[in-house]
Amino acid sequence: MMRMLGFAALGLALIFLLGPFLIIAGAGFSSGDLLVFPPQGFSLRWYGAVFEIERFRESFVLSMQLAVGSTVLALLLGVPAAYAMARYQVPGGEWIRTIVTAPVIVPAIIAGLALLRYTVIPLGLPVMAALVLGHTALVAPYAVRVVTVSLTHLRPDVEEAAVLLGATRTGAFFKVVLPNIRNGMMAAFILGFITSFNQVPVSLFLTGPGVTTLPIDMLAAMEFVYDPSIAALSTLLALMSVSIVLIAERVLGLSRYV
């Protein structure tokens, strides 16, 4: 009896998780001009069409640049921060840990608004700089957390061994620490990239004329055009995220870090 209930609950959960995705994916196969489900007829027309739409191409490139740039920045900040907290008794370390992970807890929409109101507008930052700033802040906590996990697998005496063999502390970091947290950094990069690439609430406040990320652009497009290209594009993006995560899981064992 309990077993049956368990299976039923699992089934429901799967329907709620996968259902919307299947409906969207299905709607994209429509041969008609309207976004409806079930699709009218069947064609690959809209899956081909998304590559032809200029504005999506532009915002796709921008989203890519933004995701790569802000994730790299977040790692440049996050790796030293994680290292310092893992190896040294940083004064107020608990506070710093909380602050560093706060963006994971604070609703992104509030973070976006605050960033716009109190940083971007007063400083008159250009749109791209504002986006990079916002996304870096958003991604950095993931970088800190994931890198911290992989640092805990590396005993501090391994670094001491390098120092006693003649390496400087900095040398030991580059020769011993970095190679051993490489997988963690890759995992952090992938998580950060996907977080930034799919990000809506923060970007919503920070995008400006002519500079738009792909998800925001899709949101805007839906208000004017209601054809199945949006569904096709959403499906392609979802598949991209899923395949990146699957490959990362295979190669790096991503789930060990999160």
Partner 1 sequence: MSDPEYLALRNITIAYGKTVAVNDVSISVPQGELLALLGPSGCGKTTLMRAIAGLLPLTTGSIALNKRDITRVPANKREVGLVFQSYALFPHLSVFENVAFGLRLRKISGDQLQQRVDGAIAMVGLQGFERRLPKELSGGQQQRVALARSVVVRPSLLLLDEPLSNLDARLRLEMRSELHRLHRDLGVTMIYVTHDQTEALALADRIVVMRDGCVAQSGTPEDLYERPTSGFVARFMGFENILSVTPEGLAGEPGRLDAATSSVRDARALAWRPQNVVLGQGPFSGRVVGASYQGETTEYLIDSAAGMLKAQSPVVSQRFAPGDAINFDLPFDRAVKLAES
Q: Which is nearer to partner 1, 160 or 249 (CB)?
A: 160
Q: Taking the complex as a whole, how short is the minimal distance between the CB of residue 159 and partner 1, in angstroms?
A: 9
Residue number, 121 or 161, with CB nearest to partner 1: 161
**% helix / strand / coil in the chain, to the nearest 5?**
80, 0, 20
Comparing CB distances to partner 1, the nearer of 11 and 171 is: 171
Closest distance of CB 175 from partner 1, Å: 8
Q: How far is the CB of 179 from partner 1 (least distance, A)?
A: 4
Is 157 or 223 the residue whose CB approaches partner 1 more closely?
157
DSSP codes joined into one string, 220-236: HHHHH--STHHHHHHHH
User: How far is residue 228's CA from residue 71's CA, in Å, rounded to a whole number?
Assistant: 31
Beta bridge partners of 208: 211
Q: Which is nearer to partner 1, 14 or 163 (CB)?
A: 163
| Residues of this chain that bind partner 1 (CB under 8 A) | 154-155, 157-158, 160-168, 171, 175-176, 179-180
Q: Count the Cβ atoms, other than its own, within 10 Å of residue 217.
A: 21
Question: Which CA distances in Å does 171 have to 27, 148, 160?
Answer: 56, 20, 11
Going by the DSSP 8-state scheme, the letter that residue 176 receives in this structure is I
Task: Supply the minimum distance, in Å, between the C-beta of residue 88 and partner 1.
Answer: 14
CA distances from 232 to 30, 44, 63, 212, 217 (A): 9, 9, 18, 20, 15
Q: How far is the CB of 168 from partner 1 (least distance, A)?
A: 6
